[in-house]
Structure 1
């Protein structure tokens, strides 16, 4: 069995490589060549933590396994990342464990890659302003990936705790995007693309704040009860997701489903757009929304990539169990 520790991931998997892997597995899912298994996601009742498992099998790429981990909100005070994850891969021919891979950076990369895939496929071609709601650890990855996916000219940002915004502004400056901290109303008035990346359990962005033609990548809602945008905004948008089953149960669409504002038939897997089976955006006036729930297959394909690159570089650790 091989181990690829967290400290090696940054040298093995780039944002560009993660994008390619995630786009490919979304396409495989839409073709029926890859399948996610039901998610386990629970509050521990300890350390205010959420913990769970995501798993699946990519028959096209032969990636089988699971990611175990969750969210510990007190970790930052301990000098640790709030999100903690580990990926376990198995040989699909024998069922034997084949690799143990540090999953923290991989989770950030694959989440940002999913949002970037949606932006590239669904945002208006003339979109100029990127809006970001959230300024935590994941927001900087979202910013970098979005800037690679589309040629934005500037960005605006809002966070519940505005003292966190300078970190986001520094990354924007690094990649050459003028940054401005704004109110939510101003963000909706100015942004052509909006990424929401928070851990909110109450809607932050309202329908009245979003202009026609806006694309939203809603990336923070991955648990029952979480919500970043109001249900009326979801109902007003043309809806896309990584996986419909997760979208309606634990993603941003769960609330609009519960309130009978939409049904699952109006939600399209982004893989169908990638494969050319769905046109995606059909007009410049449509609001498009990508519900990025985060599927296990994303984790497996980027982890498998890390393992192959670690083997090629001779840096993977080997042990018997």
Structure 2
């Protein structure tokens, strides 16, 4: 047995119900911004995504993982989409859990509820893109989609910039009430509009699960920043390929953008190439200039990477431990 470690090993557990009190939008923003920069510098990498249909409950299940050498974070998010949860069980359809491991030994360190975390990290990603790519004088925010994620997106965007107005569109306009309430709570007027009026927006966030383009190139004015946050699967599409052809395209991870993100369609049609898609981390770290003119259209393809989940989970664990709120189990 010589040389084997026998020290007590602890597992830190942060359940779903605690995360709303532990994770601020600022902390989520900082974690995502930092890990995007680490990805661009080569210090952090995502592992290949595993995703499969269960053949049970019409569910999709999978794993996203990665290692951030700079942040010392290793782990995975396991979970997926159970489309009947809400109607049958009163649970949200997206369910996930994050596991963090010690990079030095491989031992499991923490287990963190992943549902709210996923919503907050997705919203953080779009607001990181707004900070680094939108015009400084952007005043009108356009929202496309009014599902579960949209309110998180709107709150994060309104915190990162002083928008003076929010305009919104959804396939079913009666669902826009939740966005109107968020805008009102943050002191910003909201108006439901047809898609043609998205030309009034300086920043547009699309967060839908569409498989057909919703936002067309002529719905977007010169100088607009567009954050496409819904396309994360082969076949999904939120914006017309012509928009990517005329925009400067940035993403969280190029390999995902061109295979399962918004860029998949423009690339398959030959309108852009993989080299046209740039990592937003390069803008954050200063190795890419980002926006180069006031009339340039910038587009962020937010495909969602495992490293986002891990970075945010790590900040949650640190906050829980610091506040004495985590459950610690001896293994």
Task: Give the alignment's TM-score, normalised by structure 1.
Answer: 0.97
2:172 aligned residue: 161
Matches within 5 A, 1:34-49: 34-49=44-59
Indicate the residue corresponding to 2:182 in structure 1.
Answer: 171
Aligned residues of 1:153 and 1:177 also touching (Cα < 8 A): yes
Q: Deviations over 1:130-159 (max 9, x none)?
A: 000011111111001101111110000011
Per the alignment, residue 125 of structure 1 pairs with: 136
The answer to whether the aligner puts 1:143 opposite 2:154 as a matched pair is yes
SS in 2 for 1:89: strand
Greater shift, 146-155 or 42-51, is seen at 42-51
Which deviates further from its counterpart, 65-74 or 114-123?
65-74
Structure-to-structure mapping, 1:227-246, within 5 angstroms: 227-246=237-256
Note the alpha carbon deviations across 1:276-316, whole angstroms, 9 max, x for none. Answer: 11111111111100000011000001101111111122221
Q: What secondary structure, in the 3-state scheme, does the structure 2 residue paired with 1:228 have?
A: coil
Match of 1:196 among 190, 206, 212: 206
Q: Does 1:297 find its partner at 2:307?
A: yes
Partner of 1:221: 231
Question: Corresponding residue for 2:260?
Answer: 250
Question: Is it true that 1:67 corresponds to 2:77 in the alignment?
Answer: yes
- Give the Cα–Cα distance (whole angstroms) in 1 for the partners of residues 86 and 202 of structure 2: 32
Distance 1:301 1:289, change over 3 A: same
Q: Specify the alignment match of 2:6 in structure 1.
A: none
Shift of residue 115, structure 1, vs aligned partner: 0.3
- Consecutive unaligned residues in structure 2, runs of 5 or more: 1-10
What is the aligned residue count? 320
Q: Per the alignment, in what secondary structure is the counterpart of residue 54 of structure 1?
A: strand
Residues in 2 aligned to 1:120 and 1:206: alpha-carbon distance in whole angstroms: 24
Secondary structure, counterpart of 1:168 in structure 2: helix
Secondary structure of 2:154's aligned partner = helix
How far apart, in 2, do the equivalents of 1:230 and 1:51 lie?
Answer: 29
In 2, the alpha carbon distance for the partners of 1:219 and 1:265 equals: 21
Mapped to 1, the partners of 2:207 and 2:99 lie a distance apart of 26
Q: Does 1:33 align with 2:12?
A: no
Deviation per residue, 1:27-66 (Å, 9 max, x gap): 1111111111111223334333332211000101111000
Residues of 2 paired with 1:46 and 1:255: CA distance?
30
Of the candidates 119, 127, 140, which is equivalent to residue 108 of structure 1? 119
Q: Structure 2: how far apart are the matches of 1:273 and 1:111?
A: 18
| SS in structure 1 at match of 2:270 | coil
Q: Is 1:57 matched with 2:67?
A: yes
Q: Is it true that 1:23 corresponds to 2:33 in the alignment?
A: yes
**Structure 1 vs Structure 2 CA RMSD:** 1.2
Instruction: Show structure 1 runs of 5+ residues with no match.
Output: none
> C-alpha distance in 2, partners of 1:46/1:284?
50
Q: Aligned pair in 2 of structure 1 residues 43, 191: CA closer, same or farther (>3 Å)?
A: farther
CA distance in 2, matches of 1:288, 1:152: 18
Deviates more, 1:188-197 or 1:40-49: 40-49
| 1:320 to partner: Cα distance | 4.9
Q: Do residues 185 (structure 1) and 199 (structure 2) align?
A: no
